Amino acid sequence: MTTLTIDGKTVSAKPGESLLDVARRSGAEVPSLCHHPLLVPYGACRVCLVEVSKNGKSKLTTSCNYEVQDGIEVRTDTAGVRKHRKAVLELLLALAPEAPAVQGLARANGITAARYQRIEPPSGRARCILCGQCSRVCTEVVGAAALCLSKRGDRRGLVAPFEERVAQSCIACGACAHVCPTDAVEMESAAIERLRALSADRRPCRYALMGMMPGALCPNNYDCALCEVDQRFQEASSPHHPVFVARGLHRPKAWEER
């Protein structure tokens, strides 16, 4: 076990655990936008900043992609943390001013008006903060790799591989929309229509592809109204997207309380 202190509290953690998860478990309130406990950390949104001290030296760091270490002292609410988090949120607000999650965090951090001019999103997704959570779930959990972040700087955007309009590998499972922190992904019917247009013997069922149903073809002939898995996905109250259940992954409580 690893032992560290968080806001003055001594805390134990498993080696390799993310500082963000451990801090939250200890009762600290650290915000996040791009962190999902079941995905590989990416450190894109920068709102999960904390201050870490080790051997007499302190630095600000993102906590979602910082592995716990023995003996470190972590403070989650210093003046430096608050100042830099506020600056990060002002930038995110310029990128995605209509995203409710960004607006909520901005308000909670004392931002009352936008300081920077609106940055036009290159991908055309007005609420996208380019956190890559959708592309990570698609690659790491679904295995379809139908989305990716491309280019850099002000040309950075979210695209299908080779900038196709609809990725041929997309199985229309909706996991990307499910994990997006800013509701920027809208499922289009184009992907599911493309699957339906394939001849019966070539049509894969998206949930069968995720290992949730035996066989590779849709047993309901693509009538999603008859599909139990699809109904479960549609239930707004369901905390789990089928893809996580299919992979034997379950979202811990911390994620529900995000």
46 binds, among ligand SF4, ligand FES, none (CB under 5 to 8 A by kind): ligand FES
Q: Do the Cβ atoms of 48 and 92 come closer than 8 Å?
A: no
Whichever of 64 and 210 has its CB closer to ligand FES, that residue is 64
Q: Rule CB under 6 A: is residue 102 a binding residue for ligand SF4?
A: no
Q: Kindly indicate which of the ranges 48-56, 102-110, 164-172, 246-254 contains the residues binding ligand SF4, using the contact rule CB under 6 A.
A: 164-172
Q: Kindly indicate which of the ranges 7-15, 54-62, 123-131, 195-203 contains the residues binding ligand SF4, using the contact rule CB under 6 A.
A: 123-131
* DSSP code, position 224: G
Q: Which of 6, 129, 148, 213 binds ligand SF4 (CB under 6 A)?
A: 129
Q: Do the Cβ atoms of 178 and 245 come closer than 8 Å?
A: no
Q: What is the Cα–Cα distance from 211 to 116, expressed in whole angstroms?
A: 46
Q: Rule CB under 6 A: is residue 175 a binding residue for ligand SF4?
A: yes
**Concatenated DSSP letters for 152-179?**
-GGG-EEE-GGG-SS-TT-----HHHHH
Q: Kindly indicate which of the ranges 52-60, 106-114, 142-150, 214-222 contains the residues binding ligand SF4, using the contact rule CB under 6 A.
A: 142-150
Give burial (CB, 10 Å; 0-12/13-18/19+) of 200.
Answer: exposed
Contact set for ligand SF4, span 177-196 (CB under 6 A): 180, 182, 184-185, 191
Q: What is the Cα–Cα distance from 67 to 65, expressed in whole angstroms?
A: 6
Q: Rule CB under 6 A: is residue 128 a binding residue for ligand SF4?
A: yes
Nearest Cα neighbor of 149 from 132, 134, 169 is 132
Q: What is the Cα–Cα distance from 139 to 156, expressed in whole angstroms?
A: 19
173 binds, among ligand SF4, ligand FES, none (CB under 5 to 8 A by kind): ligand SF4
What is the amino acid identity at position 49? L
Report the interface residues with ligand FES, using CB under 6 A.
Answer: 32-35, 43-48, 62, 64
Whichever of 50 and 185 has its CB closer to ligand SF4, that residue is 185
Interface ranges with ligand SF4 (CB under 6 A):
125, 128-134, 137-138, 142, 144, 146-147, 158, 170-176, 180, 182, 184-185, 191
